[in-house]
A and B are shown apart, each in its own frame.
Chain A
Amino acid sequence: MASHLGGLSGAPVVRVESLIRSFGPRTILDGLSLDIDKGEFVALLGRSGSGKSTLLRALADLDDKVSGSGRLETPDKKSVVFQDARLLPWKRVLENVMLGLNLPDAAKRGRAALEEVGLGGRENAWPVELSGGEQQRVALARSLVRDPELLLADEPFGALDALTRLRMHDLLRQLCARHQPAVLLVTHDVDEAVTLADRVLVLDKGGIVADIAIDIPTPRDHGDRRFGEIRSELLRHLGVETKPVLPV
């Protein structure tokens, strides 16, 4: 992966300052600030209900019904991958990838994107005919075909089995290396975060409580000692106390 440690490049693509979001009396994001650099892969961890999706939806401009304030700068070219693949069931796979893509060579790009996620030849399948993992790959193709500067993903692999998830990690890593979008990946899975990201954030009580640069060369080995240290540190921030387990 085009690792990008330290975030030394020019202006960040995402800039969030004093973001406040609340549902009724409950303030979910309370003065949150966050920068994401060009091409940087950021993973966001946090307890269930900590507001990860709320933040992601704010970045995706999907929260027009939520009250709040703050400064938000995001690029125009951004894509969202949801936990469900969210394919339109009445559109064939290729048409789903091409949705909203008003370019003369949309079909060509769509085919290329499907080829990239390993679904070349399935262009004319209906979404119901695909497995969960395949549907999620179509969703990835749909996001990447528009060459986003920012890719927002809310637990995109949450519904997949462990094996498929590992495959999807490899795929996502390759795709990001090629397309170089900035990524904000919301996940529950600490290992997933440490494996994929340049930087891992922990969200708690309305703000970022940990911001850890992952200084492990890729590809990363879960058994690595540094991996284990970072994992324990993150788990501690997530309120899970771990005994120092010897690396397996």
Chain B
Amino acid sequence: MNAFSHPAAVAPTIGYASDERALIPPAVKPRKTGTRRRLALGRAIPFGALIGPALLIVVWSIGSVAGLIDPRTLPAPWSVVGTAVDLIAEGKLQGHLMTSAWRAAQGLVFGVLIGSVLALISGLSRLGEAIIDGPVQIKRAIPTLALIPLLMLWFGIGEGMKVTTIALAVLIPIYIQTHSSLRSIDSRYVELAQTLRMGYGEFIREVILPGALPGFFLGLRFAVTYAWLSLVVVEQVNATSGIGYMIDLARNYGQTDIVIVGLVLYALLGLASDGIVSFFQERSLSWRRTLAD
């Protein structure tokens, strides 16, 4: 077992590796241990995540300057920035942004709460699973978009409908990931809890919740994306404010630059919220050692 886990250490003494080496005089081909390829990833590139997007903007700028890109198809980066500045000066952008962010936040909070509670109930009891898991799987099979007509009939076209749609979309990944992470908690830890005579409350607190946390965070990262996604849909279907409404209006008037501003805003919101989630994810899961470390 040890011999297999350290192949390099035993190579000079056993197996065909030593036969091969015997044919090559060590002076001719010295073994360079420093250049051996490592299986783990190397050190992280500083600000590596920004390199790709920066490259895109460079290409976009060059294309605009050189006249390769028609401004009606895609306005130059600086004219998009100019439009954004104007919109901010008029106070429109902030207003739409606040409305959208508030909707997404509400939907996210409700969806995450409901999804987690359902996952816990269904993960911790057979009866809970029998009652909850089926309906959630059915909901999962129906695209959120397809539910909107029904939700409009039930909740009207106000904020309630929008928040409900977002919450319903968010609930699914939270439920699925938390539930599966909870169910895959090593049974040896359950045994341990039993031998340590933990009470049920302590068992949930010390074993179940921390054990399910990796899944919860994975679900949360999906959930944030889903929240923005369904926000776009509900705002474009029926709204009188919000970024989606702004984009839809701009489309009617052929204002590509405003459409782009809206899209950039969505991208920033998505990235920022994902960043926030992964920040908390790393902090709460600092006990793990993975390939990325």
Q: Is the CB of A60 within 8 A of B195?
A: yes
The answer to whether B29 has its CB under 8 Å from any CB of chain A is no
Q: Do B206 and A86 touch (CB < 8 A)? A: no
Instruction: Name which of B195, B198, B213, B286 has the most chain A CB atoms within 10 A of its CB.
Output: B195
Q: Does B193 contact A (CB under 8 A)?
A: yes
Contact A88 B207 (CB under 8 A): yes
Stretch of A76-84, A176-184, A203-211, A218-226 that contacts chain B: A76-84
**Complex CA–CA separation, A82 to B287 (angstroms):** 22
Instruction: Indicate which residue in A61, A84, A91, A128 contacts B206 across the interface (CB closer than 8 Å).
Output: A91
In whole angstroms, how far apart are the Cα atoms of A61 and B192 in the complex? Answer: 11
Asked if A61 contacts B194 (CB within 8 A), the reply is yes
Q: Which residues 49-70 in A have Cβ within 8 Å of B in the complex? A: 60-62
Within B128-163, the residues touching A (CB, 8 Å) are: none
Let me know if B123 is at the binding interface, CB within 8 A: no
Q: Are A99 and B196 in contact (CB under 8 A)?
A: yes
Total chain A interface residues with beta-carbon distance under 8 A: 19
A100 touches B197 (CB 8 A): yes
Contact B188 A90 (CB under 8 A): no
Query: B-side binding surface: helix, strand, loop or mixed?
Result: helix
Q: Bound complex: CA of A136 vs CA of B135, how far in Å?
A: 45
Is the C-beta of B211 less than 8 angstroms from some C-beta in chain A? Answer: yes
B203 closest partner in A (C-beta): A100
Question: Which A residues touch B206, using CB under 8 A?
Answer: 88, 91, 99
* Distance of B65 from chain A, by nearest CB (Å): 52
Residue of A84, A90, A100, A128 touching B196 (CB-CB under 8 A)? A100
Say yes or no: is B289 at the interface (Cβ < 8 Å to chain A): yes
Check B198 against A100 for contact (C-beta < 8 Å). Answer: yes
**Are the C-beta atoms of B211 and A84 separated by less than 8 Å?**
no
Distance A90 CA – B214 CA, assembled complex (angstroms): 11
Residue of A nearest to B189 (CB): A88
B210 at the interface (CB under 8 A from A): yes
A100 and B210 contact, CB distance less than 8 A: no
Q: Other CB < 8 Å A-B pairs besides A61-B194, A91-B206, A126-B287, 20 of them? A: A61-B195, A62-B191, A62-B194, A79-B195, A82-B188, A82-B192, A84-B188, A86-B188, A86-B189, A88-B189, A88-B210, A90-B285, A90-B287, A91-B210, A99-B206, A100-B193, A100-B197, A126-B286, A127-B287, A128-B287
Cross-chain pairs A/B with CB under 8 angstroms, 22 sampled: A61-B195, A62-B191, A79-B195, A80-B195, A82-B188, A82-B192, A86-B189, A88-B189, A88-B206, A88-B210, A89-B287, A90-B285, A90-B287, A99-B193, A99-B198, A99-B206, A100-B198, A100-B202, A126-B286, A126-B287, A128-B287, A128-B289
